[in-house]
Structure 1
Amino acid sequence: MKQKRHLFTAAFLAALGNVSAQDKPNIILFLVDDMGWQETSVPFYEEPTPLNERYHTPNMERLAQMGVKFTQAYACAISSPSRCSLMSGMNAARHRVTNWTLEYDVQTDVESNVLQLPDWNYNGIQPVDRAGEHDLKNATPITALPRLLQENGYYTIHCGKAHFGARGTVGENPLSFGFDVNIGGGANGAPGSYLAENEFGSGAFHVSGLEQYYSKGTFLTEALTIEALKALNKPIANRQPFYLYMSHYAIHAPYNPDKRFTGNYRQPDGSGVYDAQLKANLDENEINHAALVEGMDKSLGDILDYLGERPEVAANTILIFMSDNGGQSVGPRQGILNRDPNYPARGGKGSAYEGGVHEPMIVSWPGVVKGGTVNENRVMIEDFFPTILEMAGAKSYQTVQHVDGKSFVDILKDPTLKRDRTNIWHFPNLWGESQDTAEGFGAYSAILKGDYHLLYFWENRELRLYNVREDIGEQNNLIKMQPDLAKQLAKELTAALKDCDAQRPSYKQTGELIPWPDEAVIR
């Protein structure tokens, strides 16, 4: 294996010298579902943690040596908001797809005795050039990223999870947004099953279009990878630049066993290996979860190997690795919920805390990015829209939507640059899997500026303030010690929400809108 890697490196470097600076680069966005920033053997914290020891991701390690690791990458705490921001460049407060989508005209929030939730866009984003009146009800029309890439000469491939628009709308189908190929993408935000013998699920969460794998026993992650690589053959043969959106369903629940890798997390007697973070043996869910992570990593390795066999293509291909939200920290997880799964961060998917929004991110850009480096500049999920378009050389595009994202091409080209990036989150919703406000769940808005993370919980109008550089676990609420800073951040958060025309929840009993964050009483 080492010899093969050395040969790949030599061929890659040789090809790099043959790539014309005028050529449009190929772009692969490798997006993982529900992957926390520590669910990898690549450390994204200032030092390795026990979770980095649990997971086996050699191909992420390989990619990190090829490119730059971003330690301050963020997304929304829930899937659909992140994916809609990625496709549109809009902050979630502006596109208003603030919770996860599925069925037409159906809100996915849980009921509250206190809050009346605002009428958010539960039918998702919709392509402005294809959507009709039916599609645009409780939806946001956009000029989509793949459409703009397509107009700039790219062959566009969607593979895996979409989760952009509700079932029965044109936004359900990735082809409507400008993808030339759609493999397995629809309204569903998770697979009914990863197992071929279960036909990759049934009903609302069935992953369609992969029937040829039912009899082969191919795990879903593997089947999607095989199909993605097949799809690349066409643009490569035609010498056409391609955009591959490799959007895995992994590592979202259900935690079906990927038997290619489950044995790596078992002892000879079949029980789980001892885990330093849990101070216990892994249970079946954690064994299967770790195997899902390794299967995802194997997919990344297959893509890198495919490019390695085509060194001229590899030398002109940008690969971006990212997750859509924090790792799951409740439900099937083992250990202390909201503590162990994303340690040292607090919370997880759905939570306002770092564990819900901090993501693993790596960028490889041959000839531009120096391998094995680290960038501590902050990035937010809507930044990917203008960044990818700038990478593609698209300069004169127009969109119907206001783009909130800021390109990070400049800090890729010059890593000495420092950017001041303030991140805004808006979730005026109630997620179905937890309502534990103590752990950052419930209806909230938040701002991250400099070292400080301010959270605002709409139901009780509570503000919390943390210094995430000194306190990544967000255990020390500074609200009483630094009230002036909290008030200033609350003003900035309120101004950003108003600029986005963000909607607010109200009180059920009175119908009164809940005051903005800057009207909260510090207590």
Structure 2
Amino acid sequence: MLALLLAWGVYSYGQSEKSSPNIIVFFVDDMGWQDTSVPFWDKVTDFNKRYHTPNMERLAKEGLKFTNAYAMPVCTPSRVSLITGVNAAHHRVTHWTSPDRNKNTDHPDADLNPVDWNINGFSPVAGVEHTFHGTALPAVLSQHGYYTVHSGKAHFGSAGTPGSDPENVGFQVNIAGNEIGHPASYLGKNNYDKRVNGKPNRNAVQGLGKYHGTDVFLTDAITTEALAALEKPVKAKQPFFLYLAHYAIHIPLDADQRFIDKYLKAGLDSTEAKYASLVEGMDKSLGDVLGFLDKNKIADNTVILFMSDNGGLSTTPARGGQAWTHNLPLKAGKGSVYEGGIREPMLARWPGVIKPGSVTDQYVIIEDFFPTILDIAGVKNPKLVQQVDGKSFLPLFKNPALKDDNRALVWHHPNRWIPAEGPNIHYASAFRKGDWKLIYDYRKQKLELYNLKDDIGELHDLAAQNPGKVKELAGLFTAQLKKWDVQWPVFKNTGKAVVWPDEVARK
């Protein structure tokens, strides 16, 4: 106990000697757990050998690697959870929002009626239909002296709602962010657009006109503009919060010509090579950020958090698609509550606080970013509209070995998605406590049980052999879902609701 108190005293003293730390969230879109040369498993895989991400390697070497970091199955739920600290089951933005207001992105289903989820996403203003109203992270930080910058993908809310504009969400600077979920093009020579019948594409990236007609790749453009925006607070010695949210590595698969040749020469087909070039371009952006911090001599007082919003897109060649992401050994991919859809590459660096080369196996989840960042900033008891579900992972920075196997994590996806390529993603939810994970398939009204410590690929359903564990987890799972008053599907033919997990467990 004395040693812990002394260690905390050293930590607190170090904090008091410095100004409020700068904070950077480096957020990547659709990046799977295996789409990097940094291994997040207990071994290096062939997929880790495929990609070239030297700046992620540097971040891991100089910071902390999280091997059990989670997001939601799709993008908007993760983004809303990050800026509010609320679980998706609780804020009810359970699927990706359409750029168009009041448009439900759920696909019709033959068996289940759609639920009334918040199809317009997050709103900083109360009373906006089909939105979750809350106090956003950048707004809180701005109120406490931070200069807040958004660059890249926002996708917090649909067009015409307050949440579609990052400046309404609390960012003092917004670069290229609005309601769109992916770019029409990554190519400056195409004006980051792909015109349809001569008209601008709905997903054309806005606000980057100075790069139109150039060879500047989108990933570079939003990085360059983000770092230029930081010159002001750096010069004024004001702490900043940069949310650098890349459109990469989401489709379209536009090749980054600076990097693609090496992957073609390595034997990858053109599709996989394009994807790998997007990954390396994203990593180059990370290197530019690290270089900026070094150049301005502010690295020691800057916290960097690297994260992805959901798992890699899982495609199925049998349906005519061509696979370019590979989540193995994890099961499934984006849109799924299996590990391939929710387990993410996550890194953190804070010189003088995090011991270089640290690794933590403690599981964390996307809503934890909110309380953690407020802890880092020293914000105590902020005035919030919402109840925060996340838990600060700041203690892991000093002691990565800390374990809390009693904590429960929830994923709730009462939606149906049919991606252009890949398997249909059907209604499902999941619950993790310790090494055990319970998955509930609404359509089948069936529970699956996995031990992730022994079976990271979720290949062996242990429900039949462990009825006691199923009953225990199903009870806890149901209690939490009911506490949050979640939306719950109803069968079309009977008008009856899908039974709760604990009802299945009692059969």
Q: TM-score, normalized by length of structure 1?
A: 0.90
**Offset of residue 89 of structure 1:** 0.4
SS in 1 for 2:19: coil
SS in 2 for 1:108: coil
Higher mean C-alpha displacement, 481-490 vs 74-83: 481-490
**Offset of residue 419 of structure 1:** 2.3
Asked if the contact 2:119/2:131 (under 8 Å) is kept, the reply is yes
Asked if the contact 1:465/1:478 (under 8 Å) is kept, the reply is yes
**Offset of residue 173 of structure 1:** 0.2
Matched, 1:232 2:236: no
**Offset of residue 334 of structure 1:** 12
Whole-Å Cα distance in 2 between the matches of residues 339 and 492 of structure 1?
38
After superposition, the C-alpha distances for 1:371-404 in whole angstroms (9 at most, x for unaligned) are: 1111111100000000000100000202111100
| Counterpart for residue 205 of structure 1 | 203
Residue correspondences, number: 487
Whole-Å Cα distance in 1 between the matches of residues 402 and 83 of structure 2?
26
Which structure 2 residues correspond to residues 346-365 of structure 1 after superposition, within 5 A? Answer: 346-365=331-350
SS in 2 for 1:167: coil
| Counterpart for residue 444 of structure 2 | 460
Whole-Å Cα distance in 2 between the matches of residues 107 and 64 of structure 1?
39
**Offset of residue 413 of structure 1:** 2.2
**Offset of residue 22 of structure 1:** 4.3
Whole-Å Cα distance in 1 between the matches of residues 203 and 470 of structure 2?
42
RMSD value over aligned CA atoms?
A: 2.2
Whole-Å Cα distance in 2 between the matches of residues 500 and 331 of structure 1?
35
Asked if the contact 2:122/2:163 (under 8 Å) is kept, the reply is yes
Compared CA separation, residues 306 and 350, structure 1 to 2 (3 A): same
Give the letter aligned to residue 384 of structure 1.
F
After superposition, the C-alpha distances for 1:346-376 in whole angstroms (9 at most, x for unaligned) are: 1010111100000000100111000111111
Higher mean C-alpha displacement, 200-209 vs 165-174: 200-209
Matched, 1:372 2:357: yes
Matched, 1:81 2:73: no
| Counterpart for residue 139 of structure 2 | 147
Give the letter aligned to residue 179 of structure 2.
A
| Counterpart for residue 409 of structure 1 | 394
| Counterpart for residue 501 of structure 2 | 517
Whole-Å Cα distance in 1 between the matches of residues 45 and 138 of structure 2?
37
| Counterpart for residue 49 of structure 2 | 53
Compared CA separation, residues 452 and 434, structure 1 to 2 (3 A): farther
Matched, 1:42 2:38: yes
Asked if the contact 1:163/1:172 (under 8 Å) is kept, the reply is yes
Higher mean C-alpha displacement, 372-381 vs 505-514: 505-514
Whole-Å Cα distance in 2 between the matches of residues 113 and 448 of structure 1?
30
Matched, 1:285 2:281: no
Gaps of 5+ in 2: 1-12, 194-199
**Offset of residue 215 of structure 1:** 2.0
**Offset of residue 331 of structure 1:** 5.9
Asked if the contact 1:285/1:334 (under 8 Å) is kept, the reply is no
Whole-Å Cα distance in 2 between the matches of residues 326 and 310 of structure 1?
34
After superposition, the C-alpha distances for 1:275-318 in whole angstroms (9 at most, x for unaligned) are: xxxxxxx221110000000000000000001111122x111000
Matched, 1:192 2:190: no
Whole-Å Cα distance in 1 between the matches of residues 469 and 333 of structure 2?
26
After superposition, the C-alpha distances for 1:86-135 in whole angstroms (9 at most, x for unaligned) are: 0110000010000000211110011101000111000101003xx5x4xx
Which structure 2 residues correspond to residues 411-490 of structure 1 after superposition, within 5 A? Answer: 411-420=396-405, 421-433=407-419, 441-490=425-474
Compared CA separation, residues 333 and 236, structure 1 to 2 (3 A): farther
**Offset of residue 434 of structure 1:** 7.8
SS in 1 for 2:306: strand
Matched, 1:114 2:106: no
SS in 2 for 1:423: strand
Higher mean C-alpha displacement, 365-374 vs 506-515: 506-515
Compared CA separation, residues 115 and 339, structure 1 to 2 (3 A): farther
Whole-Å Cα distance in 1 between the matches of residues 395 and 378 of structure 2?
13
Compared CA separation, residues 114 and 374, structure 1 to 2 (3 A): same
**Offset of residue 462 of structure 1:** 1.1
Asked if the contact 2:353/2:398 (under 8 Å) is kept, the reply is yes
Asked if the contact 1:463/1:522 (under 8 Å) is kept, the reply is no
SS in 1 for 2:182: coil
| Counterpart for residue 31 of structure 1 | 27
SS in 1 for 2:258: coil
**Offset of residue 416 of structure 1:** 3.5
Give the letter aligned to residue 81 of structure 2.
S
| Counterpart for residue 322 of structure 1 | 307
Whole-Å Cα distance in 2 between the matches of residues 339 and 285 of structure 1?
6
Compared CA separation, residues 377 and 207, structure 1 to 2 (3 A): same
2:377 aligned residue (381, 386, 392): 392
**Offset of residue 204 of structure 1:** 2.0
Compared CA separation, residues 299 and 326, structure 1 to 2 (3 A): same
**Offset of residue 335 of structure 1:** 12
Q: TM-score, normalized by length of structure 2?
A: 0.92
Compared CA separation, residues 88 and 340, structure 1 to 2 (3 A): closer
Matched, 1:222 2:196: no
Compared CA separation, residues 90 and 337, structure 1 to 2 (3 A): farther
Whole-Å Cα distance in 1 between the matches of residues 189 and 44 of structure 2?
38
| Counterpart for residue 61 of structure 2 | 65
2:289 aligned residue (271, 279, 303): 303
| Counterpart for residue 278 of structure 1 | none
Asked if the contact 2:122/2:133 (under 8 Å) is kept, the reply is yes
**Offset of residue 339 of structure 1:** 11
**Offset of residue 415 of structure 1:** 2.5
Asked if the contact 1:454/1:490 (under 8 Å) is kept, the reply is yes
**Offset of residue 18 of structure 1:** 10
Whole-Å Cα distance in 2 between the matches of residues 345 and 460 of structure 1?
22
SS in 1 for 2:212: helix
